[in-house]
A and B are shown apart, each in its own frame.
Chain A
Amino acid sequence: MLLSENFKIALRALRANKLRSILTMLGIVIGVATVVALLSIGKGATASITSSIQNSGSNLLTISPGRAQFGPAGEGASRQQSHLYYADYELLQKTLTDKVTAIVPSYQSSYVVKSGDQSINVGVTGVTQDYQNVRAYQVADGRFITDGDNKAQSMVAVLGSQTATDLFGSLSPVGKTIAINGIKFDVVGVLVSKGSTGFASADDAIFIPLDTGYDKLYGSNANFNGKKTINNIIVSVKTTDLMNTVSAEIQYLLRRSHNLAATDQLDFNVLNQTDLLNTLSSVTRTLTIFLGAIAGISLLVGGIGIMNIMLVSVTERTREIGLRKAVGATRNQILVQFLIETVTLSLLGGIIGILLGVGIATIFSATGLITSVVTANSILLAFIFALLIGVFFGLYPAFRAANLHPMEALRYE
């Protein structure tokens, strides 16, 4: 007997109980749709986190003050006392020349910024010229902070795109004047919007020359024990192979300049973007697997639903099975017939579920809340899983049908 005939018999049997077949299939549809949608959303989250980190440069080391804390929160009092100093930057600048392309210090603090009657609270970051390259910022209008600005301690500022809109609306801010904490700065440039990177938004920021900041704006906030402090140092390493070497070198140099004993914990962190990327990727991967597993459970429940209905169906059709056996159907032919019925149910459910899942993922993407990436892998996985469930949960009812005694089956009332 041909497989196509078995499919015909299966479809006829499923059509005979349309509502029941649809309800049974619904379990698989929902299960598969959830698997596809969740895997796509998980994949999308991973992709957007990865790209946002890669956009900010994967050859960057970020040095920031603070101890890596393992103990209870209360023991972290020393965290406040740890600082990075401008002198640290100068030391690295002097020592690391051959392995790095740029070393960029920055200091950030929030101030009230006014333009005309517009007033906003925004982070003002003191930077050097290289900051633009390291962060891959693009200037939409005007120019970025230059070394000359730093040398001359010019009263100039570059605005992030959001800040520019907040202060000046649709007007061009270049050439206009703003007041940061009451001190007048000339706007010389506006940046292209980068979108949120998930951390601090570069669009909602003001950049000024670091030296101007120390001298005119930050005052004693940026001063500890008579030394100028900075928030972080970004080191752009020449090649990614050198990342670990440079990181180790930085740790060695700063440990010495901070007078830390060999057994002391570091009072600064050297953050490798690649490490961060790996950590976040593994977190999102774990989450995706976790979500997928939950969806898988619903698929399992759908499978049990199929088995339940098939057992009822076998009981209802006992006489039909007896008749088929009487006219020459072998045990295996009955087995295959019922197995194909469950597989047809689960495959149809799987296909509808995949369409629904892709639809859900697309709708999520369209709303802009979550990016989702539908991959062939997740579709294949869901499809194969649905098929396996059909076979697995179909086997027992099919065996029950195949093993019926023909005479008893014919007499069944």
Chain B
Amino acid sequence: MIQTENLTKVYQMGEDEVRALNGVSFQIDKGEMVAIMGPSGSGKSTLMAIIGCLDVPTSGSYSLDGVSVERMHDSQLADIRGRKIGFVFQQFNLLARTSALENVMLPLTYAGSSGKERHERALKALELVGLADRVHHTPSELSGGQQQRVAIARALVNEPAILLADEPTGALDSKTGVEILDLFQNLHRQQGQTVIIVTHDSYIARHTNRILKLSDGHIVSDEINHHPIAPGTPRTEEVI
């Protein structure tokens, strides 16, 4: 599904070169649920941007779903983002004064599907995240957890190859955060959805089956998590 080879990303900050990624190679298969973990400045956001086709690597290769994307143009990347990637952000990033349904339909609008198809698929996606009764509410009428569910429905509506979540619980209280993690786990188990969660929080990372740790632009560990935290388990300090 995802194959990267020796990815580097260099930013020019004034006169200094900042190496955000320094030779990152890994592979994620279809149906995996993976956490990319690291403290701030480790390069995880940069890696997320490249995996999400929001940015291109300075060097190295990246193939997504069998397509080599590292040298693609803006419009090609936009197309890949629209078809293969579903983003979930920390701040939800829903359009204000716009109903849940219309927010979820947004990716389909850019993909150019017909009005009727859009409507049906958006309803289905909202049903999947448990918001069938909130389709006409606007973000300001929804709780934080509900807003994030709308954002997840929006990410799922195009049936993307990967669901890419950037600190998806960062703006939520811990109880709601756990519910959102539940939703990811269910999507992974029941729909076979490939899920990548980018986080600095090891508790959240341990909800996944595999944890990639990033530090100073390198992968420092890549471990299978044989006992992911079960859905509904509250956060406790003694969980290892």
Contacts and interface: CB of A to CB of B under 8 A. Distances in A.
B187 interface: no
Given A323-B93, A331-B75, A407-B54, A12 B81 contact: no
A331 B93 contact: no
A326 B75 contact: no
Given A12-B98, A16-B96, A319-B93, A328 B54 contact: no
B19 interface: no
A-side interface mostly: helix
A410 B78 contact: no
A5 interface: yes
B75 A324 contact: no
Nearest to B50: A407
Nearest to A5: B109
Contacts of B112: 1
Interface in A1-38: 1, 5, 12, 16
Given A12-B98, A407-B49, A329 B54 contact: no
Nearest to A323: B93
Interface in A308-326: 319-320, 322-326
A119 interface: no
A335 to B, nearest CB: 11
A333 B112 CA distance: 11
A327 B154 contact: yes
B110 A324 contact: yes
Interface stretch (B82-90, B124-132, B203-211): B82-90
Contact of A16 (B49, B75, B97): B97
B54 A324 contact: no
Interface residues of A, number: 23
B220 interface: no
A257 interface: no
B159 interface: no
Nearest to B164: A326
Interface in A367-400: none
B110 A328 contact: yes
Given A325-B78, A328-B82, A406 B154 contact: no
B110 A1 contact: yes
Interface in B93-115: 93, 95-98, 106-107, 109-112
B6 to A, nearest CB: 21
A324 B96 CA distance: 13
B54 A406 contact: yes
A330 interface: yes
A410 B97 contact: no
A279 interface: no
Nearest to A326: B87
A18 to B, nearest CB: 12
Contacts of B52: 326
**Which of B74, B79, B107 counts the most A-chain CB atoms under 10 A from its CB?**
B74
Given A1-B109, A407-B49, A330 B83 contact: no
A407 B11 CA distance: 13
A332 interface: yes
Contacts of A323: 89, 93, 95
B89 A410 contact: yes
B32 to A, nearest CB: 22
B55 interface: yes
22 contacts: A5-B109, A16-B97, A319-B91, A323-B89, A325-B54, A326-B52, A326-B81, A326-B87, A326-B93, A327-B106, A328-B79, A328-B82, A328-B83, A328-B107, A328-B158, A329-B110, A331-B74, A331-B75, A332-B75, A406-B81, A410-B54, A410-B89
Interface of A: 1, 5, 12, 16, 319-320, 322-333, 405-407, 410-411
